[in-house]
C-alpha cells in the first residue's frame, strides 16, 4: 500500500501510527504537539509540517482526534483533509464522535470523490499499545475491505457494522452499556456493604450467574478495594455519554437509563474524579448514600 497520512498523535494515535510504521507502512503524521511528532519519527514515521503536508499524496488517511469539533476543523474546514487529498483517497476517521458528524464527513467526502469510513475503537490506551483494539466500522463494504489490512495492524476484533455512522452508533451503544453496568455494580456494592454483607463474597455469586459480566469479571476486586487507577477515565466516558445522548436524539429514540447514567458519570466528573477509572462511578453512588468514608 502507498503512503499513509495520520492526523492526531495522542495517547491512542501515537501507538497506532507506530504500529503502522513498524509494519513497514510509509506513515506521514501530524499533531500540534511537537513531542508527539518526535515520537512518530522515533518509531520510523515521518513528522509532517501540517495537516496538508501529512496527507499530501496519501492513499489512505487516518484521523484519531478528541471530539467532533477537532474532526470538523481538521477534516471539513477550508484547507483540511478533504481539501488536501486527491479524489479516490480513503479517509478512515477513527475518532469517537457523534454519528451525525461522521455522516456529514462522509457526505462532504462523497461530494469530492473521497471515500470515508467511521471506525471508532474500544480497548483504550492498553489496547492501542498492545495492538488489541476492537474496531467498529461504518461505511461501504468495498472501502472496509481496503482499510481492513491496516486495521489489522493494531486491531484484534474488526467488524463492519453498517453504513456511514454505524461505527459510531455501535460505539455509543457499547459505552452506554459499559457506563450503566458500572453504575449497577456500584449500586450492588453499596447495598451489600451497607447491609453488612461482604461485597467480595456477594459479587463472586453475582459474577457466576445471570448477573455476570465482563466488568464483574475484570473489575470487581479493584472496585471493592477502591482502586481506581485508569484504565479509561471518567472524563472520557463523560464525553462518550454525550455522544450516546446525541446519537439517541439523532435517531429519535428515548433512552431513560442512558439519560440517568449520563448524569451519574457527569457527577463523577463534577465531584473531581474525572481522571480516575470509570469504575469510580462507585464513588458517586457512595456519596449519594453518605458513605464517602468507605474511600481508601
Q: Which of residues 64-103 bind its own copies (CB under 8 A)?
A: 99
Burial class (CB in 10 A: 0-12, 13-18, 19+), 201: exposed
Question: Of 81, 85, 243, 285, which lies in the binding site for its own copies, with binding defined by CB under 8 A?
Answer: 285
Rounded to a whole number of angstroms, the minimum distance from the CB of residue 245 to its own copies is 7
Residues 218-277 that bind its own copies (CB under 8 A): 218, 242, 244-245, 247-264, 266-267, 269-272
Site string for its own copies, 190-219 (x = CB under 8 A): xxx-xxxxx--xx-xxx-xxxxxxxx--x-
Backbone angles phi, psi at 50, to 5 degrees: -165, -175
Helix H or strand E segment including 92: strand 90-93
Least Cα distance to 9 among 54, 63, 50 occurs for: 63
Q: Which stretch in 1-9, 10-18, 84-92, 155-163 sits in contact with its own copies by CB under 8 A?
A: 155-163
Q: Which stretch of DSSP H or E encloses residue 187?
A: helix 166-194
CB of 272 to its own copies, least distance (A): 6
CA distance 253 to 227: 36
CA dist., res. 136 & res. 165, Å (int): 10
Q: How many residues bind its own copies (CB under 8 A)?
A: 84
Kindly state the smallest distance separating residue 7's Cβ from its own copies, in Å. Answer: 24
From 39, 171, 219, 283, active-site residue: 171
- Closer CB to its own copies, 197 or 225, in the complex: 197
Determine the Cα angle at 142 with ends 138 and 143, to 5°: 55
Dist CA 273 CA 228 (whole Å): 9
The residue among 163 and 230 lying less far from its own copies, judged by its C-beta, is: 163
Q: Would you call 3 a catalytic residue per the annotation?
A: no
Angstrom distances, CA of residue 95 to CA of 12, 72, 129: 10, 11, 16
| 108 binds its own copies, rule: CB under 8 A | no
Residues between 161 and 180 with contacts to its own copies, criterion CB under 8 A: 161-163, 165-166, 169-170, 172-178, 180
Smallest gap, in angstroms, from Cβ of residue 170 to its own copies?
Answer: 5
Which is nearer to its own copies, 52 or 191 (by Cβ)? 191
Q: Which three cell numbers stand for residue 18?
A: 507506530
Q: Which residue lies nearer to its own copies by CB, 15 or 183?
A: 183
CA distance 16 to 190: 39
Given phi > 0 = left and psi -120 to 50 = alpha, else beta, which region is 172?
alpha
Q: Closer CB to its own copies, residue 4 or residue 136?
A: 136
Asked if 294 is part of the footprint of its own copies (rule: CB under 8 A), the reply reads: no
Among 15, 80, 123, 155, binds its own copies (CB under 8 A): 123
Shortest CB 282 distance to its own copies, Å:
12
Q: Rule CB under 8 A: say whether 159 interacts with its own copies.
A: yes
Contacting its own copies (CB under 8 A), which of 65, 185, 234, 282? 185
The phi, psi pair for 29, rounded to 5°, reads -120, 155
* Omega cis (within 30) before 231: yes
Active site members: 171
Amino acid at each position: 500500500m502507498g503512503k499513509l497520512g495520520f492526523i492526531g498523535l495522542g495517547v491512542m494515535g501515537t501507538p497506532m501510527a507506530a504500529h503502522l510504521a513498524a509494519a513497514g507502512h510509509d506513515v506521514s503524521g501530524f499533531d500540534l504537539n511537537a513531542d508527539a511528532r518526535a515520537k512518530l519519527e522515533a518509531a520510523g514515521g515521518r513528522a509532517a509540517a501540517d495537516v496538508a503536508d501529512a496527507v499530501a499524496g496519501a492513499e489512505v488517511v487516518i484521523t484519531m482526534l478528541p471530539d467532533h469539533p477537532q474532526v470538523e476543523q481538521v477534516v471539513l474546514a477550508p484547507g483540511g483533509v478533504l481539501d488536501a487529498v486527491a479524489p479516490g483517497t480513503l479517509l478512515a476517521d477513527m475518532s469517537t464522535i457523534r454519528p451525525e458528524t461522521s455522516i456529514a464527513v462522509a457526505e462532504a467526502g462523497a461530494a469530492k470523490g473521497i471515500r470515508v469510513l467511521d471506525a471508532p475503537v474500544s480497548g483504550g490506551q492498553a489496547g492501542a499499545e498492545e495492538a488489541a483494539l476492537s474496531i467498529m466500522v461504518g461505511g461501504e463494504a468495498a472501502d472496509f475491505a481496503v482499510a481492513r489490512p491496516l486495521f489489522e495492524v493494531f486491531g484484534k476484533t474488526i467488524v463492519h457494522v453498517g453504513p456511514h455512522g454505524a461505527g459510531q452508533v455501535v460505539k455509543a451503544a457499547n459505552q452506554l452499556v459499559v457506563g450503566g453496568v458500572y453504575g449497577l455494580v456500584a449500586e450492588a456494592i453499596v447495598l451489600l456493604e451497607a447491609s453488612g454483607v461482604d461485597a467480595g463474597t456477594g459479587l463472586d455469586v453475582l459474577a457466576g450467574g445471570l448477573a455476570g459480566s465482563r466488568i464483574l469479571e475484570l473489575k470487581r476486586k479493584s472496585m471493592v478495594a477502591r482502586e481506581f487507577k485508569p484504565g479509561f477515565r471518567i472524563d472520557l466516558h463523560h464525553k462518550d455519554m454525550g455522544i450516546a445522548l446525541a446519537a439517541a436524539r439523532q435517531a429519535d429514540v428515548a433512552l431513560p437509563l442512558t439519560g440517568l447514567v449520563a448524569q451519574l458519570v457527569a457527577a463523577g466528573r463534577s465531584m473531581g474524579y474525572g481522571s480516575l477509572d470509570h469504575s469510580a462511578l462507585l464513588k458517586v453512588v457512595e456519596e449519594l448514600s453518605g458513605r464517602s468514608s468507605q474511600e481508601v
